[in-house]
Amino acid sequence: MLFHVRMDVTIPRDLPAEEAAEIIARERAYSQALQASGKWRHIWRIAGEYANFSILDVRDNAELHEILSGLPLFPFMKIEVTPLLRHPSSIREDDR
């Protein structure tokens, strides 16, 4: 199943810089491993915001929830999820 996910991050100002840097490093490694696996198909930064649009390709809602709640920055995120379906006019066969 494909999902369009918007993630907005708000790291508390009083979080120590070293702790924030460590969380961000874990976040990068986690998301890059998911990208390499094919589950996190696309990620785009939103200009001028600490936010992204992503496309995830997962088995079901439960797997999506598991992935998103496993994000190291999850406690500092507002997340919006939109399920996607292949459009009948799409010429891309790999969009399911």
Structure tokens at 17: 């810089």
Predicted local confidence at residue 69, as pLDDT: 98
Q: Is the pTM of this model over 0.85?
A: yes
Is residue 9 domain-resident?
A: yes
At residue 35, φ and ψ (nearest 5 deg) are -65, -45
Is residue 78 domain-resident?
A: yes
Is residue 93 domain-resident?
A: no
What's the pLDDT tens digit per position in 3-21? 999 999 999 999 999 999 9
* Rounded distance between C-alpha atoms, residue 21 and residue 77, angstroms: 16
CATH number of the CATH domain containing 46: 3.30.70.1060
Provide the domain count of the chain: 1
Split at pLDDT 50, 70, 90, the class of 95 is low
What's the pLDDT tens digit per position in 38-92? 999 999 999 999 999 999 999 999 999 999 999 999 999 999 999 999 888 989 8
Is residue 12 domain-resident?
A: yes
Which residues form the domain of 50?
A: 2-84
Is residue 68 domain-resident?
A: yes
Is residue 90 domain-resident?
A: no
Q: Are 41 and 90 in contact (CB under 8 A)?
A: no
State the chain's maximal CA–CA distance in angstroms.
Answer: 50
Is residue 58 domain-resident?
A: yes
